[in-house]
């Protein structure tokens, strides 16, 4: 049989027969590691102990001491165990998907009757029985027709739809937790007894549309949390208790700051106490921005669809834009306008008025811009996720050779603001190109290189946040930590070569020719 070479984290290599599993590799290294192993990383991919390795690879073996991999497996396996428990208690329930999320997992079910809080206790009890049974976990690769026929025979229409959506070249992997089976990419643990029976909790029930589509079936979602041990669960439950005490919706109600009501979903009714805080922050930001060389503007809230099409926002954000059809006088058809979802295209219009010289740059424009975005009702959350909001928005129009100095200037500007507000420290993340984006790869290469270089020149080594940039350019995300250790993204700073091109922004350079400015988008308080 063919031989392969596996390279370990310490740089050493060993040769094995092709098809060896990570469990076989772990056992070859030592009997102890073979017993403790829970998964592996093979060429950067998280790998089940039972999956064969067919070619040369870099490999590392994981145990329960590796928090990231251990928690992923624990939460993923518990999602399957929970779904099994639900179907064992209520056999007519249809299963859908159950991904790992921060601190835990959820699984969506189709059931005629509503789950109740009392049901969660029944499900937990059955889950613990499954864990204590130490049922084996095994996996197989099936062909498409076998998988489709299996789910048709078992009346699982959502799984049929999922199998149909798998590309023809991709393997269809099945997992069994004991006698219960699910479609899953894996990896998983080796048996249910590896799960900590005293370190998980089912926390809540919510509604969720199948595949997030409001035109599809409404499902019931059960959430769970899990940790490596009982102490981890206890710490998290204590944190949740402290978070409940600090829930801004509760504080807003008790201190008479604001309220929301169903006649204006996602919009805030500010009370005198809350509005005083709001205007105090706004006045503070005005002073800071004036001192920072910004000029303040105000732009319309209703703008023709044409501008949003030219900027690219219509294509990207159409489902989040509130539109208004107006019977314009003498027009042959209704005009389509939009409530402004963001301020940047309007700021380009301000820049475009009159001829700009290289001597006018950088031009720093700021606005407390009122914006409206349609957010699904299920996503609304107090004043943290709304449909109508004001953004302390700003845009810096500059030359390419000013990106570094303007980035350093903005980081200093933001640092002073956060320090004044009690946040002496913050984390900076670098979000690069998303899959769906405007502009060419060459433009993105230039923008990412410029922003990363400018950030490092300012003395900051950012954490990487792959694929989370804006559709027009990479961005820095400034993350604040609250009193109980939760992280919140607050400020942003983005480099944009795309929008000035789309909206024909130019300035006259020192050479007398027209040039495109670079547009730096920024928000301090959000």
Which of these is catalytic: 194, 318, 391, 489? 391
Q: What is the pLDDT of residues 146-189, one digit of tens each?
A: 999 999 999 999 999 999 999 888 889 999 999 999 999 999 99
Active site residue 391: yes
Tell me the average pLDDT across 292-316: 93
Which of these is catalytic: 108, 344, 346, 392? 344
Which of these is catalytic: 373, 437, 493, 515? 373
Q: Residue 368's beta-bridge partner residues?
A: 392
- Mean pLDDT taken over the chain: 94
Q: 3-state class of 112 per DSSP?
A: coil
Spatial distance between the Cα atoms of 101 and 86, rounded to a whole number of angstroms? 20
Q: What is the pLDDT of residues 242-273, one digit of tens each?
A: 999 999 999 999 999 999 999 999 999 999 99
Q: What is the pLDDT of residues 496-505, one digit of tens each?
A: 998 999 999 9
Torsion of the alpha carbons at 107, 113, 116 and 118, rounded to the nearest 10 = -100
Which of these is catalytic: 393, 437, 490, 502? 393
Which of these is catalytic: 75, 173, 475, 515? 475
Q: Indicate if the pLDDT at residue 326 is higher than 80.
A: no
Neighbours of 439 (CB within 10 A): 20
Neighbours of 472 (CB within 10 A): 28
Active site residue 184: no
Active site residue 395: yes
Name the more confident of 447 and 290: 290
Tell me the average pLDDT across 397-401: 95
Q: Indicate if the pLDDT at residue 280 is higher than 70.
A: yes
Q: How buried is residue 348: exposed, middle or buried, by Cβ count under 10 Å (0-12/13-18/19+)?
A: buried
The conformation of residue 439, written as its DSSP 8-state character, comes to S
Query: Quick one: tokens of 450?
Result: 């410029």
- For the chain, count helices (H), then strands (E): 15, 28
Active site residue 289: no
H/E stretch holding 57 reads strand 57-62
Active site residue 216: no
Going from the N-terminus, what domains does the chain have, and what CATH number goes with each?
3-63 (3.10.20.30), 68-245 (3.30.980.10), 260-299+340-523 (3.30.930.10)
Percent of the chain residues past pLDDT 70, beyond the cut: 99
* Angle, CA of 393, 264 and 276, to the nearest 5°: 50
- 3-state class percentages of the chain: helix first, strand second, coil last, to nearest 5: 35, 30, 35
The residue with tokens 């405007």 is 438
Active site residue 475: yes
Which of these is catalytic: 340, 515, 521, 522? 521
Q: Residue 337's beta-bridge partner residues?
A: 304, 324
Q: In what order do the strands lie in the sheet with 363-372?
A: 294-296, 363-372, 388-398, 518-523, 487-496, 475-481, 427-431, 463-465
Which of these is catalytic: 84, 177, 395, 502? 395
Closest of 285, 82, 362, 73 to residue 194, by C-alpha: 73
Active site residue 153: no
């Amino acid at each position: 049989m063919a031989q392969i070479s596996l390279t370990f984290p310490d740089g050493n290599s060993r040769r094995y027969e092709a098809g060896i599993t990570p469990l076989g590799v772990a056992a070859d290294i030592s009997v102890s590691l073979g017993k403790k192993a829970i998964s592996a990383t093979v060429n950067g991919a998280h790998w089940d102990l039972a999956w064969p390795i067919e070619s040369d690879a870099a490999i590392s073996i994981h145990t329960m001491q590796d928090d990231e991999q251990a928690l992923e497996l624990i939460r993923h396996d518990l999602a399957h165990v929970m779904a099994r428990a639900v179907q064992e208690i209520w056999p007519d329930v249809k299963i859908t998907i159950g991904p790992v999320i921060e601190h835990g997992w959820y699984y969506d079910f189709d059931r005629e009757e509503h789950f109740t809080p009392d049901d969660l206790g029944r499900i937990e009890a059955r889950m613990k029985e499954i864990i204590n049974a130490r049922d084996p976990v095994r996996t197989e690769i099936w062909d498409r027709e076998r998988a489709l026929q299996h789910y048709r025979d078992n009346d699982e229409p959502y799984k049929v739809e999922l199998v149909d959506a798998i590309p023809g070249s991709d393997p269809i992997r099945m997992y069994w937790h004991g006698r219960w089976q699910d479609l899953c990419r894996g990896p998983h643990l080796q048996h249910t007894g590896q799960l900590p029976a005293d370190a998980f909790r089912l926390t809540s029930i919510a509604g969720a549309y199948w595949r997030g589509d409001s035109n599809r079936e409404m499902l019931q979602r059960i959430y769970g949390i899990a940790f490596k041990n009982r102490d981890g669960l206890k710490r998290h439950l204590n944190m949740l208790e402290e978070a409940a005490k600090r829930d801004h919706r509760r504080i807003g109600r008790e201190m008479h700051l604001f309220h929301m009501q169903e006649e204006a979903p996602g919009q805030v009714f500010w009370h005198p106490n809350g509005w005083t805080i709001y205007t105090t922050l706004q006045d503070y930001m005005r002073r800071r921005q004036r001192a920072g060389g910004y000029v303040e503007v105000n732009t319309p809230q209703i703008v023709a669809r044409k501008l949003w099409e030219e900027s690219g926002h219509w294509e990207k954000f159409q489902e989040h834009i509130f539109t208004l059809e107006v019977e314009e006088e003498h027009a042959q058809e209704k005009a389509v306008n939009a409530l402004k979802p963001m301020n940047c295209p309007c700021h380009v219009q301000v820049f475009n008025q009159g001829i700009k010289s290289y001597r006018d740059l950088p031009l720093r424009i700021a606005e407390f811009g009122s914006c409206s975005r349609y957010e699904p009702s299920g996503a609304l959350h107090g004043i943290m996720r709304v449909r109508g909001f004001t953004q302390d928005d700003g845009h810096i129009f500059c030359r390419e050779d000013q990106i570094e100095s303007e980035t350093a200037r903005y980081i200093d500007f933001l640092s002073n603001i956060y320090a004044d507000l009690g946040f002496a420290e913050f984390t900076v993340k670098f979000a690069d190109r998303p899959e769906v984006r405007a502009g060419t790869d060459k433009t993105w290469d230039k923008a990412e290189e410029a922003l990363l270089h400018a950030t490092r020149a300012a003395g900051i080594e950012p954490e990487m946040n792959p694929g989370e940039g804006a559709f027009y350019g990479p961005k820095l995300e400034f993350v604040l930590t609250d009193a109980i250790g939760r992280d919140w993204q607050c400020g942003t700073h983005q480099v944009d070569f795309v929008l000035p091109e789309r909206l024909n922004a130019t300035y006259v350079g020192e050479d007398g020719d027209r040039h495109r400015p670079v547009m730096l988008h920024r928000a301090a308080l959000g």
